[in-house]
């Protein structure tokens, strides 16, 4: 990468009120919203550790249509990309890719904000991976979802998030003439989506509802 190259990490985020609905059997709406924000802030902290000392410039952004998330992101000093009312994850990521391309970024890394415990060393390994050989880097989740995706910009294929999206992203990258690099990083395999995932949470991430909001 040249000295002027820069990369963007984009974290798509829903409004806290709409977050983690599959945890509804175990957590109250307030707990779900608090958990989503706690995981998001922890991911930002780990990313900032990861980019310290990187040879290239790496900026952080959140992709959202939520005023609440926008406020949190701005308080953390992040770029904010409007998801343009995207109804699902793929078009939200498309909006981020378009924004990053317009801003002159040479690569985009899409990272979820609900990883259980991302390791800064593994994040640094991902973010520093070279793309100049025509590659795209895919980090699979435990269920074959895509828990990190590093692509050149403009991205030559359409994003295809959803069940087992690792398979679709690999095929799409190949069809676009890229070489997909599978990077099964252990700390990026686990995101918090279901009740069964809660035991992966670090201590202190799950708080009791605040008394003033209790019913």
- Give the DSSP H/E element, type plus range, for residue 147: strand 146-152
Percent of the chain beyond pLDDT 90? 68
197, two tokens: 């995932």
Helix (H, G, I), strand (E, B) or coil at 25: coil
Residues 62/80, Cβ–Cβ less than 8 Å = yes
pLDDT in the model for residue 27 = 74
**Largest Cα–Cα distance of the chain, in whole Å?**
57
Low-confidence winner among 141-145, 180-184, 204-208 (lowest mean pLDDT): 204-208
Residues 110/10, Cβ–Cβ less than 8 Å = yes
Residue of 54, 157, 176, 55 whose CA lies nearest to 110: 157
pLDDT in the model for residue 25 = 64
| Digit-coded pLDDT (tens) for 51-79 | 997 888 999 999 999 999 999 999 999 99
**Could you tell me the domains of the chain?**
6-201 (3.90.550.10)
4, two tokens: 């002027």
| Digit-coded pLDDT (tens) for 99-120 | 999 999 999 999 999 898 899 9
What is the distance between the alpha carbons of residues 81 and 100, in angstroms, rounded to a whole number? 9
The confidence band for 147, taking pLDDT boundaries of 50, 70 and 90, is: very high
The pLDDT of residue 46 is above 80:
yes
The average confidence (pLDDT) of the chain is 87
The pLDDT of residue 201 is above 90:
no
Q: Is 154 left (phi over 0), alpha (psi -120 to 50) or beta?
A: beta
Helix (H, G, I), strand (E, B) or coil at 187: helix
| Digit-coded pLDDT (tens) for 168-200 | 999 999 999 999 999 999 999 987 666 566 666
Residue of 198, 182, 171, 68 whose CA lies nearest to 129: 182
What DSSP state is assigned to residue 161? -
Residues 188/147, Cβ–Cβ less than 8 Å = yes
């Amino acid at each position: 990468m040249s000295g002027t190259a820069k990369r963007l990490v984009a974290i798509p985020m829903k409004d806290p009120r709409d977050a983690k609905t599959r945890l509804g059997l175990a957590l109250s709406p307030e707990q779900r919203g608090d958990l989503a924000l706690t995981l998001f802030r922890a991911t930002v902290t780990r990313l900032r550790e990861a980019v310290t000392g990187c040879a290239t410039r790496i900026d952080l952004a959140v992709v959202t249509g939520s005023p609440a998330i926008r406020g949190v992101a701005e308080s953390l000093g992040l770029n904010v990309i409007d998801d343009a009312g995207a109804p699902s994850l793929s078009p939200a990521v498309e909006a981020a890719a378009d924004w990053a391309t317009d801003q002159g970024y040479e690569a985009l890394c899409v990272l979820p904000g609900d990883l259980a415990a991302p390791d800064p060393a593994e994040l640094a390994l991902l973010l520093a991976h070279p793309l100049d050989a025509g590659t795209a880097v895919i980090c699979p989740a435990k269920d074959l979802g895509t828990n990190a995706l590093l692509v050149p910009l403009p991205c030559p294929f359409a994003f295809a998030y959803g069940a087992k999206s690792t398979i679709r992203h690999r095929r799409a990258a190949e069809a676009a003439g890229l070489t997909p690099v599978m990077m099964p990083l252990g700390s990026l395999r686990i995101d918090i989506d279901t009740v069964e995932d809660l035991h992966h949470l670090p201590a202190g991430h799950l708080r009791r509802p605040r008394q003033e909001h209790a019913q």
